[in-house]
Structures are given as C-alpha cells and as structure tokens.
Amino acid sequence: MCETQKFIDMENFEKISLLRKMIKIRCFEEKVAEYKLNGKILGPVHTCIGQEAIDVGVCSALSVHDYIVGNHRSHGYMIAKGAKINLLMAEIFGKSTGTNGGKGGSMHVSDISIGSLGASGIVGSGLPIACGAAFASQYKNDGKITCVFFGDGAVNEGAFHESLNLASIWKLPVIFLLENNGVAVTTVLEQVSASHDLYHRAKSYGISSKQIDGQNVEEVYYTVKSAIATIKEGKGAVLIEAKTFRFHEHQEGQAYARMSDVGYRDKHEVDYWIANKDPIKLFSNKLVAENVIATGEIKRIYAEENHNIESAIEYADISPFPCNEDASRNVFI
C-alpha cells in the first residue's frame, strides 16, 4: 500500500456528505464540552475536535457492515459510522435510552447495529479485539473489514506490538488507524518515543503502512479505500498513521481546562493548528473554491446540525435514568 491507488473522484454530493458529517461531529462535541462544564455530564468526556477528518474519512470509506473498534475518544467514529446522535447523547448523559442503556458512558459507547464493537478506555486494548473480529471475518469468509482507532499513546503498549504480529502472521483483514496527535494527556510524543514517525514500527512486523495528513478528509478517505483494496486482495493488515492535532485538552471540564496553561505544549503551535489546520475549514474552503458548495449552504448545514444536536440534548435530558434493577443486569448474558 505504498502508493494510494487512484479511485474515481467522489461525486459532489459525496464530498458535501463528508463535510456535513464533520460539521455534525464538531457541533456534537462542542455541545458535549458545554454540558460537561455546566455539570449535566458527570463522567469523563474526551472530544475529537480537530480530528474529525479521520473519523469521517475512515468511516465513509468503510461499508456499513464493516466493524470499528474505538477508544476513550469515540464519539466521532460512532457518528461517522451512522450512530443516532440522540442515543449517543443519552448515553453520555447516563440515561436508559443511551446506546449502552446508560451503563457504558462516553468511554464505552457501542452499537453493533452500525458495526461498532465498542470502545475501550484502556489505551491500546482495542487492538487485540479488532484482530479477533478480523479473525472471525476471515474464518467465516464474510468479507468484512475491521478498523481499530488508537492514538500515539497506544504504540508503546505491548498490546500494539502483539496485535501487529498476530495480524501479520495470520494476514488478518484489519486496518490499524493510528491517530498521531502528538500528545498523550499532557505527555508529548517527543518525551516517550525516539521516532516521531510511528508508521515505521509496522514495517518490522511485515505490515504495510503509510503516513498521511489526518486533517485532509479526502486523503484519509482515499487512503482507507486503498487499504481496503489491499486487504481484499488477501495481502493482510494495513497500518495508517494519520498526523493530527488535539484542539482541546485531553478531557473536557474545569479541571482539564486548567492544563492548557501549564506549558506542556507550545501555545503558538495550538493556535497555529486551530487557525490553519482545522479540517472543516480546510475542506470547506476547498469545496467553495471548487464551486461544489456555496458559503451560505455551509452556514445552513451548521444551523441544521446544531438544531439536531439541540434535539439530542433535549432527548437525553428528558430521558429517564436506568432503573435500579439495571445495576445487576447483564453481568452475565
């Protein structure tokens, strides 16, 4: 998969669809950040603001039947793969109507109806699960692909290395989607990894890999399409390192907001990325320049998506909490 194969260009409506999905995720995440601050959301929430191009590029390239495995920062993948935002928001609010009946919360959102095999808050631990889903697909020959999302923090976990080796020796139909945002909570990659180009690590396991611009939704989309083609040829797993940037702190809320002043990363760099590398701005500008969409139309999309998110908030807010009996339900099936 050294070179991204050429695919027929997306139709205009498909490009607009990518833009709309990114806007939807941005609106959702901004609302989540707001409701964490006002205390409506109790538990930890990690937003993907700034990284939406990866969620949307990947999940738009996958089919509805393909599997995804998430991590602690999973709202974006879920929305991009087709999760209903009402149910997602209800889960984050801890309500019985949520994707997990209020028992998982933000870090464990899952919905098998859209191919989501859940999300793990233990960094790196989703990779073996994804290999298992891919093993099952290979065993049953059902043609499905599994994509697991993880960050640069995960590449120093043993599970990363063990999983790459398993995927390689068994030629599993899995995409390792490494979102390298350069920071794990407040520890920058430079402090914990001698190499900052993490896709090289895949080579020692015999897995083809590529580094791409994670802010460019089309590049993500076409790279994943190409990876899927490689996998369908029977060549086994692929690792994609998408370079990106976390616009917000590790988590939302008061406590983490304070971390932006402690100096673990350069403020100018943060400002630079927000001003110049916002994936939604970049793609909006491109589509406007190509006459695919008018600025007014983009504004209308924002208004519509914000309206939908308001409805999701209302739905989550008025939904009931789980009943007491639910506490002991589903320990076992």
Min separation Cβ 140 and another protein, Å:
7
Determine, following the binding rule CB under 8 A, whether residue 145 of this chain makes contact with another protein: no
| 288 lies in the site for another protein, by CB under 8 A | no
Among 186, 187, 159, 163, which Cα is nearest to 174's? 163
Report residue 209: phi and psi, to 5°.
Answer: -150, 165
Size of the site for another protein (CB under 8 A): 40
Q: Under the criterion CB under 8 A, does residue 162 sit at the interface with another protein?
A: yes
Question: Considering the rule CB under 8 A, would residue 122 count as an interface residue with another protein?
Answer: yes
* Contact window for another protein (CB under 8 A) among 45-53, 124-132, 256-264, 277-285: 124-132
- 260 lines the binding site for another protein (CB under 8 A): no
Q: In terms of CB distance, is 1 or 117 closer to another protein?
A: 117
The residue range among 17-25, 104-112, 233-241, 285-293 that interacts with another protein, by the rule CB under 8 A, is 104-112
Least Å distance between CB 121 and another protein? 8
CB of 153 vs another protein, minimal distance in Å: 15
Q: Which of 128, 173, 214, 236 binds another protein (CB under 8 A)?
A: 128
The span of 96-104, 177-185, 198-206, 250-258 binding another protein (CB under 8 A) equals: 96-104
CB of 329 to another protein, least distance (A): 7
Establish if 169 lies at the interface with another protein (CB under 8 A): yes
Neighbours of 96 (CB within 10 A): 15
Q: Name the residue among 53, 100, 19, 92 with its Cα closest to residue 293.
A: 19
Question: Coil, strand or helix: which one is 294?
Answer: coil
Helices (H), the chain: 12-37, 52-61, 75-81, 85-92, 126-140, 158-169, 189-192, 200-203, 217-232, 254-257, 267-276, 279-289, 295-318
Q: Indicate the burial class of 289 (C-beta count within 10 angstroms; 0-12, 13-18, 19 or more).
A: exposed
Q: Interface with another protein includes 103 (CB under 8 A)? A: yes
Q: Which residues, 22 to 81, sit near another protein by CB under 8 A?
A: 67, 69
| Binding flag, residue 156, another protein (CB under 8 A) | no
44: alpha, beta or left? (left if phi > 0; alpha if psi -120 to 50): beta
Q: What are the angstrom distances between the C-alpha of 100 and each of 87, 324, 332?
A: 9, 15, 15
Closest CA to 102 of 252, 332, 315, 316: 316
Contact of 35 with 41, CB cutoff 8 Å: yes
120, two tokens: 């793990």
Which stretch, 14-22, 114-122, 264-272, 292-300, contacts another protein (CB under 8 A)? Answer: 114-122
User: Given the rule CB under 8 A, which residues bind another protein?
Assistant: 67, 69, 100-101, 103-104, 108, 110-112, 117-118, 120, 122, 125, 127-137, 139-140, 158-159, 162-163, 165-166, 169, 329-333
